[in-house]
A and B are shown apart, each in its own frame.
Chain A
Amino acid sequence: MDGADIEIINKCLGGNEEAFEELVNRYKRLVFNTSYRMLGSHEEAEDASQEAFIRMYKSLNRYDPQYKFSTWAMRITTNYCLDLLRKRKGDTVSIEEQYNLKDEGLSPEEEYVRYEKQQMVKKAVDSLPAKYKELIILFHNRGLSYSEIMEVTGESLTIVKNRLYRARQMLKDILEKLDKESVNIWNVVK
Chain B
Amino acid sequence: MECGEISGLIMKYMDGDISEVEQKLLDKHKLSCEKCSKEFEILTEMAEFISGLPELSAPAGFESRVMERIRHQRSRTSMFNMLMGTAGLLVFAYYMTIFVIVPGFQESGILQIIFGYGSIVLKLIGECITKIIVYLPITIDNLLILRSILVRDYMNMMLFVAGGAMLLNLGLIRVINLQQE
Q: Are A54 and B50 in contact (CB under 8 A)?
A: no
**Chain B CB within 8 A of A180 CB:** no
CB distance from B45 to the nearest CB of A (A): 7
Query: CA separation between A17 and B50, bound complex, in Å?
Result: 37
Q: How many A-B residue pairs have CB under 8 A?
A: 98
- Assess whether B53 is in contact with A53, with CB atoms less than 8 Å apart: no
Write the nearest CB–CB distance from A176 to chain B, whole angstroms: 7
A121 contact from B35, B49, B65, B66, Cβ within 8 A: B49
Residues A189 and B35 in contact, CB atoms below 8 Å apart: yes
In the assembly, what is the distance between CA of A122 and CA of B69, in Å? 32
Q: Is the CB of B67 within 8 A of A25?
A: no
Is A79 among interface residues, defined by CB-CB distance under 8 A? Answer: no
| Shortest distance between the CB of B12 and any CB in chain A (Å) | 10
- Which stretch of A2-10, A30-38, A67-75, A82-90 is in the interface? A30-38
A168-B11 contact in complex given A21-B63, A117-B45, A188-B42, C-beta closer than 8 Å? yes
The 8 Å CB contact of B62, one of A49, A54, A57, is: A49
Interface of A is mostly: helix
Residue of A nearest to B73 (CB): A54
Contact in complex: A186, B42 (CB < 8 Å)? yes
The reply to whether B46 and A28 form a contact with Cβ atoms under 8 Å apart is: no
The answer to whether B43 and A172 have CB atoms under 8 Å apart is: yes
With beta carbons under 8 angstroms apart, the residue of A28, A54, A124, A175 that contacts B63 is A28
B58 at the interface (CB under 8 A from A): yes
The reply to whether the CB of B108 lies closer than 8 angstroms to some CB of chain A is no
A189: contacting residue among B34, B57, B58, B64, CB under 8 A: B34
Tell yes or no: B55 within 8 A of A by CB: yes
Q: What's the Cα separation between A188 and B7 when bound, in Å?
A: 16
Which B residues are in CB contact (< 8 Å) with A100?
54
Q: Which residues of B contact A53 (CB under 8 A)?
A: 66, 70
Assuming the contacts A29-B55, A54-B69, asked whether A141 and B50 have C-beta atoms less than 8 A apart, the reply is yes
Q: Which of A15, A50, A172 contacts B46 (CB 8 A)?
A: A172
Within 8 Å CB of B49, what residues of A?
A: 117-118, 121
Query: Which residues 103-152 of B sit at the A interface, judged by CB distance below 8 A?
Result: 152
Complex contacts, B73 vs chain A, CB 8 Å: 54
Q: Are A125 and B50 in contact (CB under 8 A)?
A: yes
Closest to A57 in B: B70
Bound-state CA distance A99–B38 (Å) is: 26
Q: How far is the CA of A18 from the CA of B67 in the complex (A)?
A: 8
User: Are B38 and A165 neighbours in the complex by a CB distance under 8 Å?
Assistant: no
Minimum C-beta distance from B155 to chain A (A): 14
Q: A171 and B46 in contact (CB under 8 A), knowing A32-B58, A37-B53? A: yes
* 7 more CB-based (< 8 A) A-B contacts, given A20-B70, A186-B42, A186-B45: A24-B62, A32-B58, A36-B56, A99-B54, A146-B15, A169-B7, A172-B46
Q: Which 4 pairs between the two chains have the least Cβ-Cβ distance?
A: A28-B58, A140-B50, A32-B58, A121-B49
